Amino acid sequence: MNRTSLFGQVLLLAVALGGNACSSDGATPEGGSGHQGVGGLTVSGGSSSGGAGSGGTGGHGPGSGGALGTSGAGTGGTVGTGGASGQPGAGMGGAAATAGGMGGLMGGSGGPTGGSATSGGASSDAGATGAGRGGLGSGGSASGGGGRGAAGGRAAGGAAGQMGGAAGTSSTGGTSGFNPCKASPCVVLPLGDSITHGYNSTDDAGYRSALFKLAVTANQKVTFIGSLSNGPSSVSGQTFPKNHEGHDGITVTGITAYVPPAKAFTTAPHVVLLHIGTNDMTSNANPTTTANQLDTLVTNLVQAAPDALIVVAKIVPLGYSNTNYDQYIAKIPDVVKAHASKNEHVVMVDMSTLPGSDIRGNGNVHPTDKGYADMADLWYGVIKGYLPN
């Protein structure tokens, strides 16, 4: 073999070895190279997840999920899964969240289910602890207040549309862009029993006056409707709308007689705040039967006001231990989910978590003034994103 032929074969061998090194577990890609970074362009992240550095020190590769692959890396572009600064990081999320979502649109704690500010990606529109402007999640959590409202997500979560996380709220319901308050002020129907009335509160308005005060403080416009009238003449320097539909001692079937089709609304509500079932449980009604009656009541409300937001309360604790109560409140989330699954604007707020000190003692079932104020905070957490200025 002559010298020229030998040199040519050595050259071919060197080229072949160099080509194989490109897809092996070899050296980390150079920072800022903009090449395949952490795993090539395949959804699985390349043949060996991108080399020893898993993405290089500053490459613009797409993270271990490849070119957005299947939502990219699970942890948002950290070393070992997406490179120290791999460009797409967590696939569709950015650099700071676990499956975050394009600048906060995923909402949800660790993805699509409601929660913390970090779960919306580095550019999330988050509030104090909530998801961004609603997110695509399907629920909120008791600690997820913030964002524009409180109950879920833009696609299928919570109060729908403008909500992000929730203060003790809703797990399901709603559609994109939903806004029940079609005019100013927003028309709210407080519906239920003596707790809705505000029985045993100092001003005889219970949560209603406290809720109105929260809206006034935020320069938001709200009014209440109903056939009954109780409460102070003014709150925070403004005329207080005293109307409500809170009937002392009434049960679920009893309050059903005050809504269509049994009785027409004189004014169509934009929002319904429903707290009912306490008297059923104190009279030892069957929890399953009561939950079925609640389902019928919600069905009637949705049919009568299909564009309204129906907020169903997981009712406040009793002032004593009651097994029927425990079983009833455990069924309320399923009632709400069944309606939300049909794209009805039905959400839940969990008031069963109020502390025992919020309920008057000696077997009483009515909140203290502090308890009514805490109820108002929870209601407001759900609806504040909708109330007009």
Half-sphere exposure for 40 (CA within 13 Å, toward CB): 13
Pairing of strands 238-239, 234-235: antiparallel
Q: What is the pTM of this model?
A: 0.60
Q: For residue range 192-240, what is the model confidence (pLDDT) as tens digits?
A: 999 999 999 999 999 999 999 999 999 999 999 999 999 999 999 999 9
Query: Which amino acid is present at 257?
Result: A
Secondary element (H or E) of residue 73: none
Q: For residue range 233-266, what is the model confidence (pLDDT) as tens digits?
A: 999 999 999 999 999 999 999 999 999 999 999 9
81 and 204 share a domain?
Answer: no
Please give the pLDDT value at position 104.
30
> Domain count of the chain?
2
Q: What are phi and psi for residue 59, nearest 5 degrees?
A: -65, 165
Does residue 264 sit within a domain? Answer: yes
The residue whose two tokens read 């169509």 is: 268
Compute the average pLDDT of residues 72-98.
33
Query: How many other CB atoms are found less than 10 A from the CB of residue 179?
Result: 16
Res. 50: pLDDT tops 70: no
Please give the pLDDT value at position 176.
52
**CATH number of the CATH domain containing 372:** 3.40.50.1110
Does residue 156 sit within a domain? Answer: no
The last residue of a domain, from among 95, 120, 138? 95
Question: How much is the mean pLDDT over the chain?
Answer: 68
Comparison of pLDDT for 278 and 92, the residue scoring more: 278
Does residue 285 sit within a domain? Answer: yes
Structural domain that includes position 41: 1-95
The last residue of a domain, from among 95, 117, 137? 95
The last residue of a domain, from among 95, 122, 152? 95
Does residue 175 sit within a domain? Answer: no
Does residue 120 sit within a domain? Answer: no
